[in-house]
Structure 1
């Protein structure tokens, strides 16, 4: 074999590897987008829109937050314009901290804060406000 043909072989092999890696990345990105669409159809965010109220605490220290198409609001101010919802977990950011909640029932009316190890309160969806949130 001549040196030139070895060089050509290496170029062809490297080109094939680069093209294969490119297509693998494209497939992964497309699969992620399709999965996000699937989750949006099966678990629409509108199912958890409403005011979530902390349970089993004194009225003066009750934590509340509202989920809507505008994002997450606490005390009337939007803290995040985006939240993730996959049917089992709700997640959003407050500043540089991630708040993660786990769904506790099939009706999706109770969630528990699981992102903090020392305090994991339960929140309940306030039905009287749920129908007014768009």
Structure 2
């Protein structure tokens, strides 16, 4: 094979790789756009958290619960904090010196998983 043929073959390889790269980028961009349109990256508003949250999978006498409202976080009918953070998927608040962190577990925003404090894995359901 002559040197000119080798150069031409090399050019074709580069063009093919560029074309494959562009197709791959287009597919990824199209997939991400479709996911956005389907609402897969939508963050739920903090008002959707409002309500009473009850721990799942434990006896009623040992159940933990809390209430979220526009005024703040309540446990056992007492306001424990007027400020909390919610970024659409993670809820954070302080109760005394203890930080509580919950992650939204489902798309409907009806179930939370307690991440901190991590005594044991516990889920909460909105009632």
Bucket of the pairwise TM-score, normalised by the shorter protein: 0.5 to 0.7
C-alpha RMSD of the superposition: 1.1
Q: Structure 2 regions of 5+ residues with no counterpart?
A: 1-42
Q: Structure 1 regions of 5+ residues with no counterpart?
A: 1-41, 127-134
Structure whose CA Rg is larger: 2
Residue 77 of structure 1: aligned partner = 78
The count of aligned residue pairs is 85
Q: Which runs of 4+ in 1 moved over 6 A?
A: none
Q: Distance in 2 between matches of 1:102 and 1:125?
A: 13
Residue 95 of structure 2: aligned partner = 94
String of CA shifts for 1:17-56, please: whole Å, max 9, x gaps.
xxxxxxxxxxxxxxxxxxxxxxxxx642211100000001
* Contact 1:43/1:85 (<8 A) preserved: no
Residue 64 of structure 2: aligned partner = 63
Q: By how many angstroms is 1:79 displaced?
A: 0.5
